[in-house]
Structure 1
Amino acid sequence: MFKFRRQVLKSLVAVLSAPALARAQVAGAPIRIAMIESMSGPFANTGEAVFRNLYWAVERVNARGGVKLPASSGGSRPLVLDKYDNKGQNEEALSALRAAIDDGARFVVQGNNSATAAALIDAINKHNEREPARRVIFLNYSATDPILTNEKCSYWHFRFDAHADMRMAALMEVIKEDQAISSVYLLGQDYSFGQAVLREAKVQLAAQRPDVKIVGDELHPLGRVKDFLPYATKIKASGAQAVITGNWGNDLTLLVKAAKEVGFEGKFYTFYGNALGAPAAIGDAGLGKVVAVADWLPNVPGTASEGFYQSFRQRFPKPADDYVHMRMQLLIEALAQSIEKAASLDAVAVAAQLERAQVSLGGQTGHMRAADHQFQQPLVVAVMDRQGAPGVKFDVEGSGYGFRVIKQISASRAEQPSTCKMVRPA
């Protein structure tokens, strides 16, 4: 069922391949969602992991009869998720966007690179102004550079992940209580998001832990470092008790592997230390030392949360496929809800409903803030431990290691101010 169009890899069409949808028999014309992400290159694993999450969410909507619209708008219609490979390049992402629009997509999802998200926001703003009959809405699941809902905020862009400043504030709730830390090493990827993480780390350390000395402040090329041993050696030599990093994908996995090799015994305060190979790479050396912040984790207490995770594992039983994100599920639920409330696929009408979306799933509830289109939701901070330890029922990717929640932060406490000056269509 795969096809090639303009050298863009397309997905298996959900409307044809989802077993749950076959039972639902949704007859209306499909509503196309284009996922523009790295499906090849060093971050292909992250793209495929995102696709599984969104695909599962689309299956769930279609299994209950699709998106329900009035007969004048085509009646009940299934969602279709197509994937476009941006090859890790902004220009490729813009080409993919043009192809997706020509293919009939009016909803775009992306998130694994903030620089790419910024390029898509600019392109969509221009496109929507030029072609109001083919307007596009951009739903962002992971691009967390704060600028995207501040200076670069757009009526057509909605972010469902907590941005970097929100995540850093959550991590700082734990760091400020960890009196064993007297020095930290800041390390990140050299692009907008990585820069934002280190910048905010310095600001919040000065405010929350002015006694902590920063002994390293370093950026490295995104996705191009194959050997992190030189970085790990510098970290160990600095005498730091902890590393603060926003690294993700292979840039995180290779970093923690190298740190283990050189014998670094400090803590890692991470945004993404809980998935995609990191726990297995760290092994026993990470027990009680690797800390991660997230919107949700499998070991969040509660029967609703556990049931949600168990249903994902039933759908994707391979341990290697264990990379589930609640926010991606809430994104698709919010989109389906907003289309139904708008009773139309008109982008202005759907965006007006997305601005006030409130969604719940698996015990997690969140709402979109209309002022800047930043989703507001609880956050959790967790520490790595062995599966079976108190609070660690589930491991990550069959590694035998999971994350025990040590801090839960309400949506109201996680909220941060915004400088957005939203321009809405007339």
Structure 2
Amino acid sequence: MHQVDGGRRALVGSGLALAAAPVLALRAGEPIRLAMIEGLSGAFGNAGEAVWRNLLWAVERVNARGGARLPGGARPLQLLRMDSKGNTEEALSQLKLASDQGIAFVLQGNSSAVAAALIDAINKRNEREPAARQLFLNYSAVEPALTQEKCSFWHFRFDAHADMRLEALTEVMRTDARLKKVYLIGQDYSFGQHVVRQARAMLARKRPDIEIVGEELHPMGRVKDFLPYATKIRASGAQAVLTGNWGNDLTLLVKAVRDLGLAPRFYTFYGNALGVPATLSEAGVGAVVAVAEWHPNAGDAGSAAMVQAFRRRFPDPREDYLHARMQVLVEMLVQAIEKARSTEAAAVARALEGLKFDGRGLGVPHRGEMRAADHQFLQPLYVSVMDRAGPGGLAFDVEGSGFGFRTVRRFEVDELVPALSCRMTRPAA
């Protein structure tokens, strides 16, 4: 079990100071700046800060081994915090600020609606100003359209998109013969709407005997009391709830259902951290299912080493939320920069296309490939279920809760690979 002690309670210092530290340690060349545009305050600030820690750690590890190797000498990475406050207009304002500063690499993911707006703005700017083009690197915005009908040469997605995640989740649901009634609930924006719609379609195809006993969309980030929604779930007689909710919209939903004494199984995209295990405690054992590209108990000794190293860097259990895909994003960006021998956006984009990743030698136990045709990263997925950690249980818990996740099933790339529907417009060489 992952132990909680006084050392883990120590708070991490300010983000800007942490961002500067690895750059000051390297004097080989001007830093390659990465602008993380994310909601660091507001309703989903905790999710934004979790992203920040992941990306910061990835940047620090690259810099510790010398940075990106370029013909003019090694150059460190520098990660900049740009708070969108969870608002699309503010995100666009921050993008303009990054553009004005000549930052070529923009990172975002918490909200597909924000991602769509940023991609559109970058597309227009890159056409208007070809000498100062930018790349958009997406770690979590999973609406499929972003690599399908709205695909862009300037956008690369490192997370599995929603249909790939749903394919894995609903396949596990398909095999549960006892499951007869499911409630669908999501945030009322493009991603949440897509998850509810596609979940219904996939379950109808795979298990037509399952009854959808409720379908609900709620305002995103504005509901403080989910009791009315929990009451509807109780009245429906649902045995399971499927949701793409994330951040506090998921934690508060789970809490409201628990407070009513209900015990449905939650099939989630993001139920493996950000307070959900601690909120449910024993009631979540065997009842919370999550899908992700990796989880702390998924792998071998290399996987365990990555978890332990991250926890040494961020010893506060409240900051214990590690994503393999964010490590992959930074590592693949560096590989593409070195392959292109340039930091120019189009050259790096072409180097990223078709790039294969095997991070075992880098302390990232993950593999995958960036599909050139649509810029969707193809990788295995794990469906896992909440269980006890400690003696006789899982090796790692999450967030000091005493509970972690164990693998139910690993899905290989060929089980999830999405059909191609992207018609990408490419810039002239």
Query: Under TM normalisation by the shorter chain, which class is it?
Result: over 0.9
In 2, are the aligned partners of 1:14 and 1:58 still within 8 Å (CA)?
no
Match of 1:314, SS state, is helix
Task: Give the equivalent residue in structure 2 for 1:213.
Answer: 211
In 1, are the aligned partners of 2:19 and 2:80 still within 8 Å (CA)?
no
For residues 264 and 234 of structure 1, the distance between their equivalents in structure 2, rounded to whole angstroms, comes to 11
Task: Give the equivalent residue in structure 2 for 1:160.
Answer: 158
Structure-2 change in CA distance of 1:261 and 1:143 (3 Å) = same
The answer on 1:45 being equivalent to 2:49 is: no
Deviations 1:324-359 (A, max 9, x none): 000000000000000000001121110001112222
The answer on 1:110 being equivalent to 2:128 is: no
Match of 1:188, SS state, is strand
Letter matched to residue 133 of structure 2: R
* Structure 2 residue ranges without an equivalent (≥5): 1-13
For residues 420 and 69 of structure 1, the distance between their equivalents in structure 2, rounded to whole angstroms, comes to 32
Q: Comparing 137-146 with 295-304, which one deviates more in the overlay?
A: 295-304
1:408 to 404, 407, 410: 410
Query: 1:14-413, aligned counterparts within 5 Å?
Result: 16-18=20-22, 25-71=26-72, 75-361=73-359, 362-388=364-390, 392-413=394-415
For residues 154 and 390 of structure 1, the distance between their equivalents in structure 2, rounded to whole angstroms, comes to 48
Deviations 1:139-194 (A, max 9, x none): 00000000100011000000000000000001112101111110100000000110
For residues 168 and 395 of structure 2, the distance between their equivalents in structure 1, rounded to whole angstroms, comes to 23
* Segments ≥4 residues shifted beyond 6 Å: none
Letter matched to residue 340 of structure 1: E
How far is 1:12 from its partner?
A: 1.4
Deviations 1:356-409 (A, max 9, x none): 222222321011000100000010001111113766211110011111111011
For residues 59 and 152 of structure 1, the distance between their equivalents in structure 2, rounded to whole angstroms, comes to 33
In 2, are the aligned partners of 1:242 and 1:268 still within 8 Å (CA)?
yes
How far is 1:104 from its partner?
A: 2.4
Deviations 1:48-84 (A, max 9, x none): 110000000000111111111002xxx2111000011
Letter matched to residue 145 of structure 2: I
Higher RCO, 1 or 2 (CA under 8 Å, sep at least 6)? 2
In 2, are the aligned partners of 1:391 and 1:404 still within 8 Å (CA)?
no
In 1, are the aligned partners of 2:104 and 2:344 still within 8 Å (CA)?
no
Task: Give the equivalent residue in structure 1 for 2:10.
Answer: none
For residues 328 and 307 of structure 2, the distance between their equivalents in structure 1, rounded to whole angstroms, comes to 14
For residues 18 and 100 of structure 2, the distance between their equivalents in structure 1, rounded to whole angstroms, comes to 19
Give the TM-score taking structure 1 as reference length. Answer: 0.94
Match of 2:216, SS state, is strand
For residues 118 and 170 of structure 1, the distance between their equivalents in structure 2, rounded to whole angstroms, comes to 25
Letter matched to residue 411 of structure 2: I
Match of 1:153, SS state, is coil
In 1, are the aligned partners of 2:68 and 2:334 still within 8 Å (CA)?
yes
In 1, are the aligned partners of 2:33 and 2:104 still within 8 Å (CA)?
yes
Q: Structure 1 vs Structure 2: percent identity of aligned residues?
A: 61
Match of 2:251, SS state, is helix
Deviations 1:277-302 (A, max 9, x none): 01111111111111000000000031
In 2, are the aligned partners of 1:241 and 1:266 still within 8 Å (CA)?
yes
Letter matched to residue 66 of structure 2: G
For residues 154 and 106 of structure 2, the distance between their equivalents in structure 1, rounded to whole angstroms, comes to 10
For residues 131 and 77 of structure 1, the distance between their equivalents in structure 2, rounded to whole angstroms, comes to 25
For residues 11 and 294 of structure 1, the distance between their equivalents in structure 2, rounded to whole angstroms, comes to 26
How far is 1:418 from its partner?
A: 2.6
How far is 1:308 from its partner?
A: 1.1
May I ask how many residue pairs the two structures share in their alignment?
411
Match of 1:68, SS state, is strand
For residues 301 and 340 of structure 1, the distance between their equivalents in structure 2, rounded to whole angstroms, comes to 29
* Structure 1 residue ranges without an equivalent (≥5): 1-9
Match of 2:358, SS state, is strand
